[in-house]
Amino acid sequence: MPVPLDYDDPAQAMTYVALTRWPAADPQNRIGSVFLNPGGPGASGVEYVLSGFGEGLGGELEGRFDVVGFDPRGVGASEPLNCFDTPEGFGNYLASQPLFPYRQDQYRPFFKIHARLGPECHDDHQRIAGHMNTADVARDLDRLRDAVGDEKLTYLGFSYGSYLGNTYANLFPDKVRALAIDGVVDPRLWSSGRQIDSDRTAPQAVLDEFLRLCDAAGAECALWSGEGSQQRWNQLLETIREAPIVLDDDVVITYDMLIGLVSGLLYDPGLWGGDGGAAAFLDALTDAALAGDGEAAAEAVRLRAELIERLTEGRGQSAYANQQDALYGNHCADTEYPHAFSDWRAIGEYAQEGSPFGPLFWWSRSTGCADWPVNEDRYVGPWTAHTANPVLVVGNYFDPATDYDGAVASDRLLGNSRLLSYAGWGHTAYGVSQCATEHVNAYLLTVALPPKGAVCPANRNPFLPQAQTSHPTPPIGPPVPWLARPNQPAGTP
């Protein structure tokens, strides 16, 4: 669908938004369309619907909605921002650097390489780079709503999709029919460049729960020992911080790679337990590092590959999957970051004080914004609109990417909303908690809210045998580069 490239001059150049629809199975009782955003920013809503979520959500909503996925401007098939000429270009450009700097000699080179991304992505052939921001995506979404014939918007947004939902609610409060946001960022932090206030501690809180639940499960958890899983984790972290762990001639695990992979695994408690889970991988890696166990090293290589495959399963297979380009293109346009290296180092130290995960979130996700111009059409608040119908805000007590405080803040800011809490772990609740899923489904169907103060109980300890839910899969997980770097030869620091 064509939309204005620049809403300040809508009669001039146009860009386009790619979308797909899973049609309502019960057209006679059709309510309308439900629009999706799976997060990122930079994730493809088109591929998300086509991957099976469209069919699954359609069934959950009794076949009464068309499920519509769209690629925000600059993403996927919507005039994609491609900073490099080939699919491998982005990875090759960053390949000389760690996932985040953690040694004294790494900080300035890391900053220098990443800060060049702004000019690299704003060349003469990338007109969309100057017109990517969440406010314009919200304006596009309102045009899509009108195009499908819905008087008011029905929307389900995950993670970054909560920021898009918040932005839409504040720009078009009279156009909200049912707007559910799950895995919610505090819009004040995101728009002001202070998201690190959350990111520096949220993953550690989930890891603490991972270790607590492991100890509670005892021998059912592979990482458990009589000394406690916390001590095992601390030993592993201290060892790998001193020197990389050489598993074989092709696979070397560095400190940054471990932090990146564990951060990704915290998104999905379904990957924590069992013979092929995160605890089994960490157990094998610890045995290989501390005891030089060759069999454990081989097992760690196998488990790492399987876990990365499971984490990336279902992601789009576009000829040029531009999720990383689009992440920067949108995020950097929305948020003004400092420009000087000294400021980045100072905030990096603040991030490190929060937890070992703080630097991953600060340097990896944001440094590309150091020389990236913010978009003058971005929306930075206020976030206090009173919408025509109430907004449903869903937050997990332990979410590694969007902490519970973000949901609480959004609920307090909005003039007409209801907070639904999930007392469990992982990124987002829909499709994870049956209780939360049913409340969201009821809300999207009828705009009926859960009781005030409703808290869905946590699922069973993920390290214990349990039945799996059959709800639609949860949203797209952590950025792919966080999960693995190109394999390094043995001995490479």
User: Residue 436: its pLDDT value, please?
Assistant: 97
Cβ partners under 8 Å of residue 431, min gap 6: 437, 469, 471, 472, 473, 474
User: Residue 28: its pLDDT value, please?
Assistant: 97
Cα 58 to Cα 63: distance, rounded to the nearest angstrom: 5
C-alpha gyration radius of the chain: 22
Cα 363 to Cα 348: distance, rounded to the nearest angstrom: 7
> Which 8-state DSSP code applies to residue 468?
P
Cα 138 to Cα 181: distance, rounded to the nearest angstrom: 14
Helix and strand counts by DSSP (H, E) for the chain: 20, 12
pLDDT tens sequence across 235-264: 999 999 999 999 998 999 999 999 999 999
Listed by start position, the domains of the chain span 2-79+129-192+380-456
Domain 2-79+129-192+380-456, CATH among 3.30.420.40, 3.40.50.1370, 1.10.3720.10, 3.40.50.1820: 3.40.50.1820
Q: Tell me if the bond preceding 475 is cis, omega within 30° of 0.
A: no
User: Residue 465: its pLDDT value, please?
Assistant: 86
Residue 455 CB: number of other CB atoms within 10 A?
A: 15
Q: What's the whole-model pTM score?
A: 0.95
pLDDT tens sequence across 418-454: 999 999 999 999 999 999 999 999 999 999 999 999 9
Cβ partners under 8 Å of residue 338, min gap 6: 193, 344, 347, 370
Strands 19-22 and 14-16: unpaired
* Tokens matching residue 217: 């499960």
User: Residue 226: its pLDDT value, please?
Assistant: 84
Residues lower than pLDDT 50 in the chain: 316-317, 467, 469-470, 486-493
